[in-house]
Structure 1
Amino acid sequence: MHLSHDPAAPPAPQISFDQFLAVDIRVGRIVAAEPFPQARKPAYKLTIDFGATMGTRRSSAQITEHYTLDDLPGRLVAAVVNFPPRQIGPFISEVLTLGFPDEDGRVVLVTPSQEVPLGGRLF
């Protein structure tokens, strides 16, 4: 499945509410960000804390245009936590960190506008 980053692209086909509920999107706090020089496209390796129930998970994120390694620790982010792990070069990405493209297609992270408990599920 290819997702379009074009804001003029038509909406995706309708899905049922049960299909939406199958995607588990949770909030976590970035606790560490590291360079990922082996990635094909510029990316960082993130360690994200999803709270006591889920613990920490790792993610590769192509967010180098808008964020520095020092900007990321402490930031709340949204991530899909129920995809299977994905091998990205020598790294296993366990969650998909979510973002929107800016006008140039560079990723802007999805983040809550205020503090929320870690591990909270999007509804």
Structure 2
Amino acid sequence: MTKQDLQEWNKFVEPVAKDHGSQMNINVSSGGTVINNFTINSTEANAIQNEIGRKIEQLDEPEDHIHRRKVMYWYQAKFDPDSETGNRAIIDDLSKKSMKVIFENNTVKEAMLHPSEKFKSSGTSWHMS
């Protein structure tokens, strides 16, 4: 399935997902004989939309799991170069929740936690703890 297919299915079940008392009945028949009968209630439609959302995220995620050119902002930073915990960031394009930041090496970590003077705002003091 393509991303567009999934988005269309998402729209297809959306009216049922939004109306808690509704249901969708789908009948598949050949001639006058019913081959399959599907009934989808609001709870099932919500579950379908959740699964579609996960599948769309998987399609959007690069195969190597390396994301480039995404805006990241710090949620929590630990300035200990030896610490493996405490460094978390939010990248809205990937998730609304904070994620663990894994640095390629300590040089990158140092550069991200202590940016160059040219990136510091004049007259404003920024502190992270």
Same fold at TM > 0.5: no
Interval containing the TM-score (normalised by the shorter chain): under 0.3
Rg larger in structure: 2
Higher RCO (C-alpha under 8 Å, 6+ residues apart): 1
Which has the larger share of strand? 1
Instruction: Provide the TM-score with structure 2 as the length reference.
Output: 0.23
Which has the larger share of helix? 2
